[in-house]
Amino acid sequence: MKITVVGAGNVGATLAQRLIEKDFGDVALVDVVEGIPQGKALDLRQSANVLGFTHKLVGSNSYDVTAGSDIIVITAGIARKPGMTRDELIGINAKIVREVVEKSLAVSPNAVFIIVTNPVDAMTYLALKVSGLPRQRVFGLSGVLDGGRLAAFITEDLGVDARDVSPCVMGEHGGSMVVYPRFTTVKGKPLSELVDEAKQKALAERTVDGGAEIVGFLKTGSAFYAPSASIAHMVNAVVADSGTRMNCAACLDGEYGLSDVVLGVPVRLGRRGIQDIIELPLNAEESAALNASAEAVRKMIAALNL
Ligand code: APR
């Protein structure tokens, strides 16, 4: 396997580290800034002797090194600054994602694309349209990360083991994301039966603000440890062709009564990308929340002027 990571910033470089340390395959790290991908790749390679990984890792400003990739992860863009919403990023990051998709697809026509750049739902839609690829091969990071945040807060609040939490966060990776307490379980029991509504609401609100809470602490830059771990989890499912179920930003075509919009939904991931989109039996209130989230993403997609 060959995995390309575009963007050698906090998320991209940490992802490259996680991938090479797991020894999934060869890794190519690309960035527009001269010296950054080369320097970080060289530094990482010098850990092989003590860590024992065997695959190759290269860093470059050219897409030549990415040729023949099986997976391309796009983290290139600018990160959210304190006080900046994901929506404000859209114009700047759309230009970057378009360029990255065109250049990387030209040399890796069979790759699966994982989009990370925010606002990720709109950027995934853009990547899908620019690439002309089937929707199975272009999807984004959302629910794995948002679910990880929810799981962390449940772990802290309820004093349970993080491994016993199965979180379910769907919709936009942004302000209108939807936490589903009925489909979030702790040791198989729905969160809606474990805590009262006020607590469910508080957990959901902290999850929606999960990224901003970290930005508020860091002041410069945004989260990258949980994001890179979440992407590595997605890459693992593709590499292993495991069919593992997780929530990702996917383009809908009738599922949940929605079409031509990218939204976080449960999917199964394998070697060729999305194997299936799983439709949960949402009640009227739960469906309304997902529809509202779809509307929020549609507004951002409209702003792309595709
Ligand atoms: N081609 C390649 N790399 C680019 C380009 C481009 N056209 N434009 C910018 N980059 C690179 C930057 O040089 C930088 O190294 O993308 C990298 C982004 O890294 P950071 O600023 O550290 O941002 P990071 O925290 O990694 O977040 C990246 O992921 O989670 C999202 O919202 C986040 O959209 C942001 C992205």
Among 173, 232, 297, 300, the active-site one is 173
The 10s digit of each residue's pLDDT in 45-98 is 999 999 999 999 999 999 999 999 999 999 999 876 667 666 677 889 999 999
Tell me the three-class secondary structure of 172-239, residue by residue. CCCCCCEECCCCCEECCEEHHHHCCHHHHHHHHHHHHCHHHHHHHHHCCCCCCHHHHHHHHHHHHHHH
CA distance 283 to 296: 20
Indicate the pLDDT class of residue 271, thresholds 50, 70 and 90: very high
Mean pLDDT (whole number) for 138-160: 98
Q: Which amino acid is at 143?
A: G
Our CA dihedral for 113, 87, 181, 245, rounded to 10 degrees, sits at: 0
Phi then psi for residue 223, to 5 deg, are: -60, 145
Domains of the chain, by residue range, sit at: 2-140, 143-302
By the 8 A CB rule, do 180 and 280 touch? yes
Class of domain 2-140: alpha beta
pTM for the full predicted model: 0.97
Nearest of 169, 162, 236, 246 to residue 209 by alpha carbon: 169
- Check residue 302 and report its DSSP letter: H
The amino acid sitting at 285 is E
Determine whether the annotation assigns residue 8 to a binding site: yes
User: CA separation (Å) from 210 to 45, 74, 152, 177, 257?
Assistant: 33, 21, 10, 11, 28
Paired residues of 169 in beta bridges:
179
Q: What is the pLDDT of residues 214-224, one digit of tens each?
A: 999 998 889 99
Specify the CATH number for 143-302; select among 3.90.110.10, 3.40.1350.10, 3.40.640.10, 3.40.50.2000. 3.90.110.10
C-alpha distances out from residue 151 to 91, 140, 159, 164, 232, Å? 32, 20, 11, 9, 18
At 219 the pLDDT is 87
Q: CB under 6 Å to ligand 1: residues? A: 6-12, 31-33, 36, 75-80, 93, 96, 99-100, 116-118, 221-222, 224, 227
pLDDT value for 86: 60
Catalytic (active site) residue 173: yes
Distance between Cα 75 and ligand 1 center (Å): 5
> What's the pLDDT at 87?
65
Best residue for ligand 1 mutational test, from 6, 17, 29, 32 (most atoms within 8 Å of Cβ): 32
pLDDT at 79: 72
- The structure tokens 């939807």 sit at 178
Q: Structure tokens of 109?
A: 């026509």
pLDDT exceeds 90 at position 130: yes
